[in-house]
Amino acid sequence: MKGAYYAVARGKKPGVYRTWPECEKQFISNCRSEVDVTRWQAEGVPVVFTDGACSSNGHQGAKAGIGVFWGDDHPDNVSEPLASGPPTNNRAELSAVITALKTAHEKKLSRIIICTDSNLLIKSMNWWIDTWRKNGWKTANGGDVKNKDLIVELDGWLTKVKASCFELNPHRAFICFKCECIVHFEHVAGHAGIYGNEKADELARNGALRYSA
């Protein structure tokens, strides 16, 4: 985009950059192991893993499901078939996050870290969603954002979670991600032995088995 700037608040070298590739190089590495997860949990921060699964993704007969994992035998764990729209992996990923945010709102959590192995979801939530909202949920090409219905719903639940937190903690400011966020989206490597991610994947795949068009 002509005249665009990219700001890095926390990273290898905080500052303002003219191009996305320059900005992206400054990112602090994403969570790759159990170490970060254990540290967050030790600090008392709720950590939830979300995942979406879709067999035959993009083809006839596809079946999709969502998985939300809070912990072993946790009452808020979810394993369900995708509820609406065409069965795709991305819709399942988005729906899983929406489900996690609904729980966060019901529990009045003051902070939450949502871990996902979806690069698309991470970029959507951490970088693109503010621009989409300002543009009326349109892309730079003028077309509707893909899976607009779920993106808008997800944004609504983000707002509700943040509003509830502000009511409980009126002194607290909403700061950009990589800082002390209320809702923080963290990328984890998929199929890399990270326990929570593996369990969320299992829940999602089991949910997909029960999908019916």
Residue 14, pLDDT > 60, answer no
Mean residue pLDDT of the chain comes to 81
Segment among 41-45, 50-54, 103-107, 199-203 with least mean pLDDT: 41-45
Q: What percent of the chain has pLDDT over 90?
A: 51
Q: How high is the pLDDT of residue 179? A: 36
Whether residue 113 is predicted with pLDDT greater than 50 in this model: the reply is yes
Mean pLDDT value of segment 60-70: 96
Overall average pLDDT of the 3-10 stretch: 50
- Can you give the pLDDT at residue 165? 57
Residue 203 has pLDDT above 90, yes or no: yes
- Whether the CB-CB separation of 111 and 45 falls below 8 Å is answered with yes
Query: How much is the average pLDDT of 74-80?
Result: 98
pLDDT bin (cut points 50, 70, 90) of residue 171 is very low
How far from each other are the two terminal CA atoms of the chain, in whole angstroms? 40
What is the mean predicted confidence (pLDDT) over 64-77?
97
Structure tokens at 90: 């991305």
Who has greater pLDDT, 203 or 194? 203
CATH of 31-209, one of 3.40.140.10, 3.90.870.10, 3.30.420.10, 3.60.40.10: 3.30.420.10
Instruction: Provide the residue ranges of all domains of the chain, joining segments of one domain with +.
Output: 1-29, 31-209
Q: What is the mean pLDDT of residues 111-135?
A: 91
Q: How confident is the model at residue 108 (pLDDT cuts 50, 70, 90)?
A: confident
Between 192 and 80, name the one with better pLDDT. Answer: 80
pLDDT at position 183 over 70: yes
Residue 44 CB partners (closer than 8 Å, separation 6+): none
Q: What are 186's two structure tokens?
A: 């963290």
CA distance 83 to 90: 13
Contact 82, 66 (CB under 8 A): yes
What is residue 87's predicted lDDT score, i.e. its pLDDT?
96
> What is the Cα–Cα distance from 190 to 97, expressed in whole angstroms?
16
Q: How far apart (Å, rounded) are the C-alpha atoms in residues 159 and 170?
A: 15
Measured between alpha carbons, how far is 194 from 38 in angstroms, rounded to an integer? 11
Statement: residue 61 has pLDDT above 90: yes
